[in-house]
Amino acid sequence: MSLKIQDTCINCDVCEPECPNEAISMGPQIYVIDPGKCTECVGHYGTPQCIEVCPVSCIGPDPGNPESPDMLEKKFLRLTGQA
């Protein structure tokens, strides 16, 4: 499933540049993740980089956008023009 930034985000700016899919942007109050672009770093890295760098652990699964690893892989291929 794609990831979601919780309300505990402190707007520290470290997650946005780490996203290889450019899925993270500043929302009205906190950073947000575009579920159409988030692959949990599948195809790029072994673990989601935003989670790795977040100092307050405010990023987790988005229950509103459930996706299997296979679906994330297909999204990666589509986003990178390989599908």
The residue type at 24: I
Per-residue pLDDT band for 5 (boundaries 50, 70, 90) equals very high
The C-alpha torsion from 17 through 10 and 36 to 75, rounded to 10°, is 50
State the total domains in the chain: 1
Read off the CATH number of the domain in which 42 is found: 3.30.70.20
**pLDDT one-digit tens code per residue, 15-69:** 999 999 999 999 999 999 999 999 999 999 999 999 999 999 999 999 999 999 9
Euclidean distance between CA atoms 65 and 38, whole angstroms: 10
Which secondary-structure segment (H or E) carries 74? helix 69-79
**Residue 51 lies in domain:** 3-79
Q: State the burial class of residue 53 (Cβ atoms within 10 Å of its Cβ: 0-12, 13-18, 19+).
A: middle
